[in-house]
Amino acid sequence: MASKNHLHLQLLYLALLFFILGVCEATSRTALEDASMYERHQQWMVQFGRVYKDTNERQKRFQIFKQNVARIDSFNAANNKPYKLGVNQFADLTNQEFTASRNGFKGHMCSNTATTFKYENATALPSTVDWRKKGAVTPIKDQGQCGCCWAFSAMAAVEGVTKLTTGNLISLSEQELVDCDTKGKDQGCEGGLMDDAFQFIEKNKGLTTESIYPYKGVDGTCNTNEEANHVAKINGFEDVPANSEDALQKAYWNERRITYDGNQFVEQEGNYR
C-alpha cells in the first residue's frame, strides 16, 4: 500500500514538473517574442521620429503597435489578397484614432434612386483600367494631421480630368480649398464634402497649382493673390447612383475620375501600403 502511494506521489511530482516546465517554456517564448517586438518598435520609433511624453504613453503605444503588427503579419502571411500591408507611420494608432485625425469627410445621405445618370446606357466597358499607366494620376500626397481628405479626394479627380482633357498632369492646390472654400460645409481641417468642393471650383472658375499655393496642413486665410492664377477648371459634376457597381464601372471608364469616401477603407486597412 505504501509502495503504491509512493508511486502516485512520484507521478504527481512528474506531472507537476512537466506543467512547470511547460509554463516556463511558454513564458520564455512570450518573453522572447515581446523582446523581438520591442526591438521592432524601437526601430520603428527611430525610423519615423516618434517620441512619447512618458513611460505610460510609451507602453500604451507599444501595446497598440504590437496588436497592429500582429494583424499585419497575419494578413500578409495569408497571401490571399493582391496587395500587402506595411508597418507605416500610423502603426501605433488605433483605427478610431487614425480615422478621427485623418478622415474629415462630412458624409451625406445618398439616394438609391438617382433621377439622372449620364452614362446609364454605356456599353462595351473594359473589365479593367489603370489610369496610372495613362499618366492621369499624380504621385501620392500626405495630408498629415489635417482632416481635409475631402479636398485631396476632390483635387485628385480634377487633376485626372485635367490630364485627360488637356494632356497636362498638374498637381493642384489642396491648400486653396482648405483656406478659401469655407462658406458652406467645407471647413478646412475640420472636414468637408467633395460635392461642395466641386461647386466652389466651378464658382471660382478654376484652381491654381500646388507649387503656387503649397500645402501646409493647417487652416489658413485665403491668399487671393496665389489663388487667382487658375490653371484647371471643371464645368460640372454628377453623383454616381449609390450601391451600384455597374454605375461605378460606367462612371470610372467614361468620366475617368471619381471621388470616394475612404472611411471604411481607412478603418479596416489603416496600414495599407
Asked if 38 and 147 sit in the same domain, the reply is no
Cα–Cα distance, 173 to 183 (Å, whole number)? 18
Per-residue pLDDT of the chain (273 residues; tens, 9 = 90+): 555 555 566 655 655 555 554 544 445 545 555 788 899 999 999 998 999 999 999 999 999 999 999 999 999 999 888 888 989 988 998 988 887 766 655 555 444 445 677 777 777 788 888 888 889 899 989 888 888 888 999 999 999 889 988 999 999 999 999 999 998 888 889 888 888 999 999 999 999 999 999 999 999 999 998 888 899 999 888 888 777 788 878 777 776 555 544 433 333 344 444
Query: What is the count of structural domains for the chain?
Result: 2
Asked if 117 and 231 sit in the same domain, the reply is yes
98 in any annotated domain: no
Domain of residue 152, residue span: 103-268
94 in any annotated domain: no
Domain end point (choices 30, 61, 78): 78
84 in any annotated domain: no
273 in any annotated domain: no
Residue 121 is placed in which grid cell?
A: 446606357
Asked if 63 and 149 sit in the same domain, the reply is no
Query: What pTM did the predictor assign?
Result: 0.66
CATH number at residue 138: 3.90.70.10
Reduced 3-state DSSP string for 214-252 = CCCCCCCCCCHHHHCCCCECCCCCCCCCCCCHHHHHHHH
Asked if 141 and 227 sit in the same domain, the reply is yes
Asked if 23 and 158 sit in the same domain, the reply is no
Asked if 8 and 49 sit in the same domain, the reply is yes
State the pLDDT at residue 209: 95
263 in any annotated domain: yes
Asked if 192 and 121 sit in the same domain, the reply is yes
Asked if 174 and 258 sit in the same domain, the reply is yes
Long-range contacts of 226-232 (CB under 8 A, 24+ apart): 226/173, 226/176, 227/173, 227/176, 227/179, 227/180, 230/204, 230/205, 230/206, 231/170, 231/172, 231/206, 231/207, 232/158, 232/159, 232/162, 232/170, 232/172, 232/206, 232/207
Cα–Cα distance, 147 to 189 (Å, whole number)? 4
Domain end point (choices 13, 45, 78): 78
Asked if 125 and 254 sit in the same domain, the reply is yes
Asked if 158 and 225 sit in the same domain, the reply is yes
Per the CB < 8 A criterion, the answer to whether 105 and 192 are in contact is yes
DSSP state of 272: B
Q: What DSSP letter does each residue of 94-152 carry, written as one string?
A: -HHHHHHHH--B---PPPSS-S--TTTT-----S---TTTTT--PPP---TT---HHHH
Asked if 111 and 228 sit in the same domain, the reply is yes
**Residue in this structure with the C-alpha cell 479593367, named with its chain if needed:** 128
52 in any annotated domain: yes
86 in any annotated domain: no
* Neighbouring C-beta atoms of residue 164, cutoff 10 Å: 16
93 in any annotated domain: no
Cβ neighbours of residue 80 closer than 8 Å, sequence gap 6 or more = none
Asked if 68 and 110 sit in the same domain, the reply is no
Cα–Cα distance, 257 to 100 (Å, whole number)? 26
